[in-house]
Amino acid sequence: MLTHEEVYKFLKKKPTLSHSGLNKEAGLPTGTLAKAMNGQRTLSEAHLKALVPVLRQYGIDDFLNHRAIVLAVVNHKGGVGKTTTTINLGKGLANRGQSVLLIDMDSQGNLSQSLGVHNPEQQLLQALTQNVPIPVVPLKENYHLVPSDLELARAEADLTKTPSGVLRFRNALTPLLTQYDYILIDCPPSLTIFTYSALVASTAALVVLEPEASAVKGMYNLLELIHDIKESFNARLGVEGIVMARVNPQLVLHRELMAQVRADLKGQPFFKTEIRQNIALAESQYVGQDIFEYKPTSTGATDYQALADEVVAKHPA
Ligand SMILES: Nc1ncnc2c1ncn2[C@@H]1O[C@H](COP(=O)(O)OP(=O)(O)OP(=O)(O)O)[C@@H](O)[C@H]1O
Ligand SMILES: [Mg+2]
């Protein structure tokens, strides 16, 4: 049996379905669904029963079984562009009508600060340590954030104390899976319990690499970790793709390094899109905006939209 909330969410997601047409098909009094959508009434059991066969035809079962694609944005090397990618890939996905949740899994709190959220009272920490729901801050329609700050570091001891600590984030995330199309987790530059927890809860890892001599070396550790987590906790875990970031296409050295990285990691899924160096990306973070708000005509906006389009193309609805 459907609930009022489920019908509400479904119809909200399907703006092209005519409420009056559905009323007629289900034999409901005129205006019933319009009132339900305006918050003027709650659908009764009889209404919901009549709506089941009608809404089934329009795909409500698939909608209710929907699960978000959860991507852990990872690299244990610092400053490669993980947070920048989380913000702007996320916004690029939202630009394509996807509902997106960003999660700040780094006690540096850069993701939250870069989106204008400072010293959040409600943050991921409490969900990891006090068994309360994960707090969500809606930034824009379809673009939400779970913030963190330095306080998150306090969870480390708690999460590592018990063997099941690494599952706590996955369990806390479960109720949110039906509410979003994509959940992006901004991981810290370390292979600690936070990165482990993110990978345990994810559909796939999205690896950000800079063109530099040591890029491949670090990747082997990361791929080994992904393999371990897949074997022990999360059989579905894959690699969504490797994206090269902070690239200067004019630099011969960068072109050579990228060719080398691709050759050394042959068989790994690389994104076609490369994120070029673009000062507007750094500036946008400084003023607390995503790149599409700050400078929609920048190469940063072009590249991140292309990356988002590649991701969407991998997951046909
Ligand atoms: N493509 C780019 N062009 C220019 N500057 C960039 C680009 N990508 C990221 N930056 C800047 O580089 C710095 C590091 O980027 P970012 O914070 O995204 O890296 P990170 O991998 O999340 O770092 P950390 O490991 O510390 O969390 C930031 O100041 C960011 O604005
Ligand atoms: Mg970061």
Q: Residue 189 has what pLDDT? A: 96
Contact 102, 113 (CB under 8 A): no
According to the model, what pLDDT value does residue 303 have? 98
Ligand 1 site-directed mutation target among 75, 84, 302, most atoms within 8 Å of CB: 84
The Å distance, Cα 285 to ligand 1 centre, comes to 9
d(CA 150, CA 271): 32
In 109-155, which ranges are E strands?
137-140, 143-146
Q: For residue 68, report the phi and psi dihedrals to the nearest 5 degrees.
A: -65, 150
Q: DSSP string of 167-181?
A: GHHHHHHGGGTTT-S
Tokens linked to 191 = 């292979």
User: SS in 3 state form for 181-210?
Assistant: CEEEEECCCCCCHHHHHHHHCCCEEEEEEC
Handedness of CA 284, 208, 97, 124 (dihedral sign): negative
- Give the per-residue pLDDT at 63: 84
- On the question of pLDDT at 283 being above 80, the answer is yes
- Whether 317 shows a pLDDT value over 80: the answer reads no
Atom 30, ligand 1: which residue's CA is nearest? 282
CB 125 within 8 A of CB 150: no
Residues with a CB atom less than 6 Å from ligand 1:
78-84, 106, 108, 110, 189, 245-246, 275, 277-279, 281-282, 285
Residue 282 alpha carbon, nearest atom of ligand 1 = 31
> What is the atom index within ligand 1 of the atom nearest the CA of 245?
1
Tokens of 114: 């870069």
**What pLDDT, on the 0 to 100 scale, is given for residue 27?**
96
Q: What is the mean pLDDT of residues 46-58?
A: 95
Averaged pLDDT for residues 283-292: 96
Alpha-helix residue ranges (DSSP H) falling in the chain = 4-13, 19-26, 32-37, 45-57, 60-64, 82-95, 110-114, 124-129, 155-161, 168-173, 193-200, 215-232, 252-264, 279-286, 291-294, 299-314
Read off the pLDDT of residues 130-184 as tens digits, 9 standing for 90 and up: 989 999 999 999 999 999 999 999 999 999 998 899 999 999 999 999 899 999 9
Which mutation among 75, 83, 222 tests ligand 1's pocket best, with the greatest number of atoms within 8 A of CB? 83
Percent of the chain with pLDDT over 90: 90
Cβ atoms of 265 and 226 closer than 8 Å: no
Residue type for 274, please?
A: E
Low-confidence winner among 81-85, 256-260, 276-280 (lowest mean pLDDT): 256-260
Collapsing DSSP states into helix, strand and coil, what is residue 131?
Answer: coil
Tens of pLDDT, residues 193-244: 999 999 999 999 999 999 998 888 889 999 999 999 999 999 999 999 999 9
pLDDT band at 282 (very low <50, low <70, confident <90, very high): very high
Query: Which residues, by Cβ under 5 Å, contact ligand 2, an ion?
Result: 82-83, 110
CA distance 84 to 272: 18
Give the tens place of pLDDT for each residue, 80-123.
999 999 999 999 999 999 999 999 999 999 999 999 999 999 99
Q: What is the mean pLDDT of residues 52-73?
A: 91
Average pLDDT, the chain: 95
**Beta-carbon contacts of residue 272 (< 8 Å; ≥ 6 apart):** 306, 310
* Nearest atom (ligand 1) to Cα of 87: 18
Give the pLDDT score at 120: 95
